[in-house]
Amino acid sequence: MKSRTKRLVALFATLAMTASLLAGCGGGSEPATNDAPATTDDAAAADDAATDDAATTDDAATTDDAATDDTASAGDTNSTPRNETLYFAGQQWGTINDWNPFSTNSNNAMCIQQKDSSRTLIYETLFMFNLLDGQLYPLLATDWSWDDDTLTAMTVKMNPDAHWSDGSALTANDVAYTWDCNVKYESSLGLDFSNYVESMTATDDTTLAIKCKLDDAGNPANPLKVQQVLQQMFVMQKAYLETVEERNGSDKDAVKLDKMEDLVASGPYMPFFDDDQKVVFIRDENYWGQAASMWGKLPAPKYIAHVIYADNNAGQVALEAGDVDVCQQFTTDVQKLWEEKNLPITTYIDEPPYGQCATMPSCWMNVEKPGLDQVEVRKAIAMATDYDQIIASAMSNQSPTFKDVPRSTMNPTDGEQALYDHDAVKDLQFAGNDIDGANALLDEAGIVDTDGDGIREYNGTPLSFKAECPDGWTDWMASLEIVAASAKNIGIDIQTFFPDTNTFYDDITTGNFEICMNSPSGASITNPWGRCMQFLSSQYADLSVNWSGNWGKYRNDEADEILAKIPLETDQATLKEYYTRLNEIYLTDVPNFALMYRPELFYIVNESVWTGYPMKDDGSNIPPTDCTDGYGIAALYNLTLVE
C-alpha cells in the first residue's frame, strides 16, 4: 500500500521537474482536432466514453515551451503561470463550439455537463450531489423541503449572497425563468423534467415554489425526479436569457443554436481562452462564493485548463510528465505509476480498486431474440462468465470482485448496499466461471447440442449470438472477449463485434443488437430506483429510440408495479422490502448482468504542483469527482501548492 509519506518521497525525487513546471505553462501533446461536434447528450456520453477508450498511439506527447512570466501576457492568453493553473485531462475531447446549456449540439464538457453531479465551474445549480453519502449540499440554495407529506409541492430557499458575474443579485426569479425557458425551448433537461415538474414560481426573491405534476389519481408523478432537478439544472440569469431571446426572435431552434459567448454566469470561473488545442477558464475574483455563507474564500487555482489531447495515451504521457494535475482516464495498472516509476501520482484509494466505484457496466441481452428469450440461456451465460478474469485483466483489478460485493442492482457504496436484504437473495447469487452449473442448467432445460457441432440448439436453431461494444474501448472489448470464451465452454457461440461508437449507439438505442455492453447510471439522488428502472422497467421497452435503459426490452409486470411505488414511499422498511424483491427478480430472470464495478469518473492526480486532493478516509467527505462535479468542486478550496 502506498501512503502519503511515500508520495512525498516521490515529490522530493521530482523536485527538478517541479521547478521547471512552476516556470512553464503546462502544455502536453499536440492534440488532434475533433471535427464532429457531439450533441449535449453525446457530450456526456463522450465524457464517459473517454474513460473506456484505452487506445494507444505511437506519437510521443510534446510539452509546451516554459513560460517565464508570472502572469499571462497580453495577447498570449494560451499561456498561464503553471503555479496558478490546474490542468486536466480526460474531460474535454474536442474544440468548444458553444457555451449554451440549452444546446443540443454542444461538446463543451468542461462547462456544460448537466448530470446528477453537474459540473459547476461556470454555471451553477441549486444544490450539489455527493455520491459518498447520497446527499444534496447547498450551493445557490440553502435548503429545500416538501410542503407536506403528499409530496406534491416543494419550497426552496435561495442564498441571498448569491450574485451574477455582472454583480447583480441572483434570485428565485432567475431560477423560475430558467425553468420556463428549458420547457419553452425544449432543451434535453426541459423535455425530461417537464414530465414531473408542473411549475417553478418565485414567491419572493429568496423563495422558490415548485409544484409537481400529478398523475390521474392525484399523486405526484415522481418526487425523486423533482429532487433530481435541484442538482442538475444550471441556473441562468433572467435578464441575459431575455437578451438571447430578443436577438433570436424567441425562435426555438435559434435559441438552442446561440453560442452564448457573452454569457453571464454565477460560478467561480469564467471563459478565458479556447481554441482547437486548449480551453482555459479564469477565476472570477468577485465570485459570490467567497461569502461566509458559502465557501468563505475563492478556489485556489486562478486558472482551470484542459489541453485537448488526441487520445488516452497522450493524456497519460502528460500526466506522468506533470503537465496534467487531474486525470479522468482509465489507466491500466495505475499502481505502477508510483510503485515502479516512483511518480508523485495517486488515486482516491491506496489499494485496489483505487477508485470509488459507482456504476456497473453490464452485458445486456435482447430478450426478443430467439434463444435469449429463454431465462436458462441468459442465466447460463451469466453463470459461466469468468468475472475474476475480467476484473484482473480488463480492469487491472480496479473493481471489487463479485465475491467481495455480491451482484445486485446496487452500486458498491455502503448506502446503497444497505437498502436490500442480502441474505434473502444469497441462494440466487453466482460468482462466475461456474461451467458445470451452467451446463447442468441448460441440460435440464433440454437445450442441448443435437448435431454434435459443439453448439447447443433451441427450437432447432444454434445458440449463436453477436456481442458488441465500441471499437477502441479496449477494457470493454476485452470483457466481451472473456464472455465469448466462457460461453464456448457451455456450447454457446458468441462472436464479438466492435463497430465505431456512432454505429454502436445506433444499434443499442434502436434495439438492433443481440448482446451488447453498456453502463447504467451511477450515483444519483434518484438511485438505486433510477438504476432499477434501467435494469427492469418495461417503460423503455417500446421506445423506438431508447437512450434511457432496459435496452434488452425485458418485461415484468410485478417489477413495473414496484418501480411505480418506490418514488412515493417514504417508509424505509417498506423500501427495503421493495428493493429486495426487485433484486430477487433481477437475479432470477437475469435480463442483464454486471461484468464489473467501475468508477463513474476516473480520478488520478499528480502532486508535482498541487496537493491537498480528496482521498478516501481523509475526513473531508469530498467525493473523487475530479474537483469539478457536484460536491467534488469543494476540492478546489482545499488545494495548496507543493512547497
- How sure is the predictor about 495, in pLDDT bands with cuts at 50, 70 and 90? very high
Q: What is the mean pLDDT of residues 255-268?
A: 97
What dihedral do alpha carbons 546, 550, 551, 555 form, nearest 10°? -110
| pLDDT digit string, tens, across residues 415-449 | 899 999 999 999 999 989 999 999 999 999 999 99
Question: Partners of 143 in the beta sheet?
Answer: 157
- How sure is the predictor about 571, in pLDDT bands with cuts at 50, 70 and 90? very high
For the cut 80, the answer to whether the pLDDT of residue 77 exceeds it is no
Per the CB < 8 A criterion, the answer to whether 312 and 53 are in contact is: yes
Q: Which grid coordinates are listed for 526?
A: 434518484
* pLDDT score at 424: 98
The residues near 418 (Cβ < 8 Å, ≥ 6 apart) are none
Helix, strand, or coil (residue 305): strand
For the cut 50, the answer to whether the pLDDT of residue 458 exceeds it is yes
pLDDT, greater one: 597 or 48 = 597
Helix (H) or strand (E) holding 46: helix 40-52
* pLDDT score at 105: 80
The neighbour count for residue 262, using CB atoms within 10 Å, is: 12
SS3 readout for 516-562:
EEECCCCCCCCCCHHHHHHHHCHHHCCCCCCCCCCCCCCCCHHHHHH
Per the CB < 8 A criterion, the answer to whether 392 and 549 are in contact is: no
Question: Partners of 141 in the beta sheet?
Answer: 158
Distances (CA, A) of 576 to 562, 569, 572, 588: 12, 11, 6, 18
What residue spans of 124-251 are helical by DSSP H? 172-184, 188-193, 223-232, 238-247
Cβ neighbourhood burial of 199 (10 Å; 0-12, 13-18, 19+): middle
The neighbour count for residue 340, using CB atoms within 10 Å, is: 9
488 vs 475: CA distance, rounded Å = 20
For the cut 60, the answer to whether the pLDDT of residue 277 exceeds it is yes
How many alpha carbons lie under 13 Å from residue 603 in its C-beta half-sphere?
28
234 vs 145: CA distance, rounded Å = 20
| pLDDT digit string, tens, across residues 215-234 | 998 999 999 999 999 999 99
Helix, strand, or coil (residue 272): strand
For the cut 80, the answer to whether the pLDDT of residue 399 exceeds it is yes
- How sure is the predictor about 61, in pLDDT bands with cuts at 50, 70 and 90? very low
For the cut 70, the answer to whether the pLDDT of residue 68 exceeds it is no
How many alpha carbons lie under 13 Å from residue 280 in its C-beta half-sphere?
22
Question: Partners of 135 in the beta sheet?
Answer: 130
- For the chain, count helices (H), then strands (E): 19, 24
Strands lying side by side in the sheet with 592-594: 493-497, 464-468, 515-518, 362-365, 592-594
111 vs 306: CA distance, rounded Å = 11
| pLDDT digit string, tens, across residues 171-207 | 999 999 999 999 999 999 999 999 999 999 999 999 9
Note the residue count of the chain.
Answer: 643
For the cut 50, the answer to whether the pLDDT of residue 4 exceeds it is no
44 vs 32: CA distance, rounded Å = 20
For the cut 80, the answer to whether the pLDDT of residue 150 exceeds it is yes
Whether cis (ω within 30° of 0) applies to the bond prior to 353 is: yes
Helix, strand, or coil (residue 162): coil
Tell me the backbone φ, ψ of residue 562, rounded to 5 degrees: -70, -40
Rg (CA), the chain: 25
Q: What is the mean pLDDT of residues 475-492?
A: 97
* pLDDT score at 47: 43
pLDDT, greater one: 373 or 3 = 373
Q: Which grid coordinates are listed for 596?
A: 464489473
pLDDT above 70 coverage of the chain, percent: 88
325 vs 28: CA distance, rounded Å = 11
For the cut 80, the answer to whether the pLDDT of residue 107 exceeds it is yes
CA dihedral (499, 503, 506, 511) positive or negative: negative
* pLDDT score at 78: 66
8 vs 347: CA distance, rounded Å = 14
| pLDDT digit string, tens, across residues 497-548 | 999 988 999 999 999 999 999 999 888 899 999 999 999 999 999 888 898 8
For the cut 80, the answer to whether the pLDDT of residue 493 exceeds it is yes
* pLDDT score at 513: 98
| pLDDT digit string, tens, across residues 303-358 | 999 999 988 899 999 999 999 999 999 999 999 999 999 999 999 999 999 999 99
